[in-house]
Amino acid sequence: MQLPNYQPDRYQSLFADKVTHALKTLELPDAPEPERFESLPSGFRLRAEFRIWHDGDSLDYVMFPPGDSRNPQRIDAFPIAAPRITDTMPLLKGYLTNSPELRRKLFQVEFLSTLSGELLITLIYHRPLSDAWHECAVGLADHLGCQLIGRSRKQKVVLNQHWIEEAFDVEGTTFRYRQPEQCFTQPNGGINQKMMGWLLDHTPTHATDLLELYCGIGNFTLPLASRFQNVLATELSKPATEAARWNADINNIRNVEFARLSAEEMTSALSGERPFRRLAHLKQPLDQYQLNTLLVDPPRAGLDAATLSLASHFDTVLYISCNPQSLADNLKSLSNTHAVTKLAFFDQFPYTHHLESGVILTRRSA
């Protein structure tokens, strides 16, 4: 099976259609003309996962149509994936086919790659992983030159390390990132760099501080740190927070503090509703930060009511959204206090209906 929506010859028109639909959804008659950032038409996706379909001693990568879990479609080619993934897929399939130990009750394969060509593969099983599996897996990792993890119920076997390293060039500076397995990372590396650059282009240097919610592994945190006196960034995931601290340290960025809090908890802390021990490590008390700018990159559901209320008190809100509908709902809530001064669309997911948006909101004059 080839991907049914993969139409590289129509890429630009498909992107244009998505932008048109997003503009209708957002309903922003006074917004500036949006900037549009195209993706590569192929080889852009740095993450991929496939179910494994067994037929006797052979196996195939398969995917299921949306809403149809009983109709596996064999994947013969996956041209949207990064070259490191597409080059490895047939090699991995051949090795697994010839290894009864590695293919037995193998359920799923996950790939995580980088622009720099590193690769991490996770093999997921419906059985415990034994010493025999470990020995065979070491040979597979050496053969493919990648990091390898095995997973089964209540078991995780890491052969060497559970992360890979990425490098992004943004405005002449290279930022290194540790990307752990199962932590969220932007799937389209080229578009991610464009989002970083767009935020920097429209964020002048401030003598104040930045609050970032949903910071993940520090993807936007690190480049934006150069624009502010201090940055306070929050993320609920413990592995992502740990990676963010490592990323700031390896890039020699010293004006960022990370806190493992949800957006709701951070809102509660700033309002003085309750103290959090997870903020005790901050170099200065929370009320001494000059938090005039807010950066959010929320999940598809967008911002909750409490966080929207918090955002309404900031002079500037930098909003990265993966869902135009929830963004539209949030912008309606913020329209009384803020105006959209910059708008951009980033084609993070070509050949799908998904579209990434960037919005900069500025507080209206009293």
DSSP sequence for 196-253: HHHHHHT----SSEEEEES-TTTTTHHHHGGGSSEEEEE-S-HHHHHHHHHHHHHTT-
Query: How far apart (Å, rounded) are the C-alpha atoms in residues 354 and 330?
Result: 18
Give the CA angle between residues 322, 323, 325 to the nearest 5°. Answer: 160
Three-state DSSP class for residue 328: helix
Alpha helices in the chain (DSSP H): 11-26, 83-97, 100-103, 131-144, 189-201, 221-224, 238-250, 263-270, 305-311, 324-334
Q: Tell me which amino acid residue 333 is.
A: S
For residue 292 the two structure tokens come to: 């005039």
**322 is annotated as an active-site residue:** yes
Q: Are the C-beta atoms of 347 and 15 separated by less than 8 Å?
A: yes
* N-term to C-term CA, the chain: 58
Locate tokens 């379909």: which residue?
53
Query: How far apart (Å, rounded) are the C-alpha atoms in residues 141 and 244?
Result: 27
Between the CA of residue 39 and those of 183, 187, 194, 242, 297, what are the distances in Å? 23, 12, 9, 30, 20
Q: Are the C-beta atoms of 331 and 340 separated by less than 8 Å?
A: yes
Three-state DSSP class for residue 326: helix
Q: Are the C-beta atoms of 72 and 63 separated by less than 8 Å?
A: yes
Helix (H) or strand (E) holding 293: strand 291-296
Give the catalytic positions in this structure: 322, 356
